[in-house]
């Protein structure tokens, strides 16, 4: 679906934020969609969310309806570290700068397992081997924002087809490239911008 300045693709995923409970400051109230165990600050280790990809920004929302997201990640500051087809998990790690030297093409993004990922992608764009955090910006209900750093971010999707689709678009966004349209057939009509398919599963995870 076309939307403003970018293209949105929504799917329900399980966002497994590693060590997120320890990373969230207890003095900041979490935004809607972050389930808090025990009523105190901190995230559940497994929280369902709807993802929207808008060029190089990955937005997290509590519902599939078009509304306000509660968090986002700047994808040019992260890289796809690995794909696990068995568990359908895609892992993002931090990168020190935008991924311009990663040579992984969109056609190679659908490789098996971690295949199709270059060494630069695997290492988060770091030549020194030092790990970089994934920075998530929380959009709080009162208009404030809070930045949270995680060692890595794991996204668990419903199917292997979803894993391949998301890996393709996320790797393109990490490199600052606009993903190709996902359409049944090539269209000759002129469009004002890139498109990606909007497909929202109805079943619960």
Residue 151: give its domain's CATH number.
2.30.29.30
Q: What residues contact residue 77 under an 8 Å CB cut-off, 6+ apart? A: 94, 95, 97, 98, 135
Q: What is the pLDDT of residues 22-74, one digit of tens each?
A: 333 333 333 333 333 333 334 444 567 888 888 889 999 888 776 788 999 99
Q: Is residue 7 part of a domain?
A: yes
The residues pairing with 3 across neighbouring beta strands, listed in sequence order, are: 6
Percent of the chain with pLDDT over 90: 26
Q: What is the pLDDT of residues 111-127, one digit of tens each?
A: 444 444 544 444 444 44
Residue from 156, 161, 158 nearest 197 by CA: 161
What is the distance between the alpha carbons of residues 32 and 2, in angstroms, rounded to a whole number?
Answer: 25
- Structure-token match 């109805």, residue found: 202
Q: Is residue 12 part of a domain?
A: yes
Q: Is residue 188 part of a domain?
A: no
CB-based contact 121:84 (threshold 8 Å): no
Q: Find the length of the chain.
A: 205
Q: Is residue 106 part of a domain?
A: yes
pTM: 0.57
Domains identified in the chain, total number:
1
pLDDT value of position 89: 92
Q: Range with the lowest mean pLDDT among 11-15, 145-149, 150-154, 195-199? A: 195-199
Q: 86 is in which domain, residue-wise?
A: 2-174
Q: Is residue 200 part of a domain?
A: no
Q: Is residue 136 part of a domain?
A: yes
Q: Is residue 161 part of a domain?
A: yes
Q: Is residue 156 part of a domain?
A: yes
């Amino acid at each position: 679906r076309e939307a403003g300045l970018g293209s949105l693709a929504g799917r329900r995923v399980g966002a497994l934020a590693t060590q997120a409970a320890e990373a969230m400051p207890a003095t900041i109230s979490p935004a809607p969609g972050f389930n808090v165990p025990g009523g105190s600050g901190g995230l559940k280790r497994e929280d369902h969310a709807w993802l929207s990809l808008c060029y190089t920004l990955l937005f997290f929302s509590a519902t599939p309806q078009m509304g306000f997201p509660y968090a986002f990640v700047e994808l040019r500051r992260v890289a796809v570290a690995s794909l696990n087809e068995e568990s359908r998990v895609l892992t993002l790690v931090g990168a020190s700068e935008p991924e311009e030297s990663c040579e992984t093409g969109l056609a190679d993004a659908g490789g098996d397992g971690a295949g199709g990922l270059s060494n630069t992608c695997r290492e988060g764009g770091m030549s020194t081997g030092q790990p970089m955090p994934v920075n998530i910006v929380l959009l709080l209900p009162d208009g404030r924002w809070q930045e949270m750093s995680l060692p890595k971010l794991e996204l668990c999707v419903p199917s292997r087809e979803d894993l391949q689709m998301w890996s393709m678009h996320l790797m393109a966004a990490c490199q600052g490239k606009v993903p190709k349209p996902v359409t049944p057939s090539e269209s000759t009509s002129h469009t004002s911008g890139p498109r990606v398919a909007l497909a929202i599963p109805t079943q619960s995870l």
